[in-house]
Structure 1
């Protein structure tokens, strides 16, 4: 995986690819562990991004909760 963080969508697509690859069971153990580790890294990244998104949505809800135009 590249050192640059992937967008949430890119990370989810890559996670899907990893799950499919592991489900096919056509990798040796070492490759499977490498894929599994990459998947765990992506899960951690996605979780962090989701928490950031949730915080932003909460802030926006508070900011605009008194605005009758919303």
Structure 2
């Protein structure tokens, strides 16, 4: 093999390895971003559900508004 062909194959293999590394990092970053977006979207919903379940509105007669007569 000539020197030129050897350089071609070396650069070709190096570019494939570097591309695979970049793609894997981007996929990990996208997974992280998607997880953060889902957590931020679901947090208020879960908060209000837990608030309704764990802290029910207990109103006695003293907390009710008086009506005008």
Q: Whole-Å Cα distance in 1 between the matches of residues 21 and 5 of structure 2?
A: 24
Give the counterpart of 1:57 among 28, 33, 36: 33
Q: Whole-Å Cα distance in 2 between the matches of residues 52 and 66 of structure 1?
A: 21
- TM-score, normalised relative to structure 2: 0.54
Higher relative contact order (CA closer than 8 Å, sequence separation 6+): 1
- Residue 67 of structure 1 and its aligned partner are, at CA, apart by 5.8
Q: What residue in structure 2 maps to residue 48 of structure 1?
A: 24
Residue segments in structure 1 that go unaligned for 5+ positions in a row? 1-26
Query: Over the residues paired in the alignment, what is the CA RMSD in angstroms?
Result: 1.9
Bigger Rg over Cα:
2
Q: Whole-Å Cα distance in 2 between the matches of residues 38 and 44 of structure 1?
A: 10
